[in-house]
Structure 1
């Protein structure tokens, strides 16, 4: 193998590591401390957008066992989308792919928002229908 080819492998690995380390993160949180079932709201902030709309293309909500309870995706990828997501309500320019299923009291769920950037939030549903973030 030529010396130039031997050098290519470490360079490709370095590029892969640097590219994944620079991926921006979205901040996903409950929209308020009063969120309740059946349709809690979430806010999505994208630090890379300096207060502008966040960049994401998919919304996944999964149960603790990994079952998808709601999946929505943008009809065209790579754009800015609403900073507020209400469970089960398809945002403008999105389409529902799966669900939404009814969220159940007393369960742990995870919302994942991804596209150019990505973020996640694990949340619990209380027996009284209140929704709150999982404690670390």
Structure 2
């Protein structure tokens, strides 16, 4: 179902299931978390994403969250990459380039955040 829905959209290059369904811990209340990579020149608008989310929710009979990896934070991107299950990859080169760039951005973010995290850890909260 997810594969067919996204594969028909020419701008979508790869789709990954993540969250509780990808980790085999879904409950009846769990939503379906889906991330996709698309052609950088054809990133869907917020209205299109809302329409896709609604259409998928209707078909799957449960809440769906959709994340565009092109615009997602490096932190979320790495979580999807580490814990997700690829549904399909239409353009392996584009997907590999995205993942390589993502890891570089994530490493840079960790370097920038480290001094702040260290400062927080040094604070005394209790005497």
Give the TM-score of the pair, scaled to structure 2. 0.25
* Structure exhibiting the larger radius of gyration computed from Cα positions: 1
RCO greater where, 1 or 2, for CA within 8 Å and sep 6 or more? 2
Q: Which has the higher strand share?
A: 1
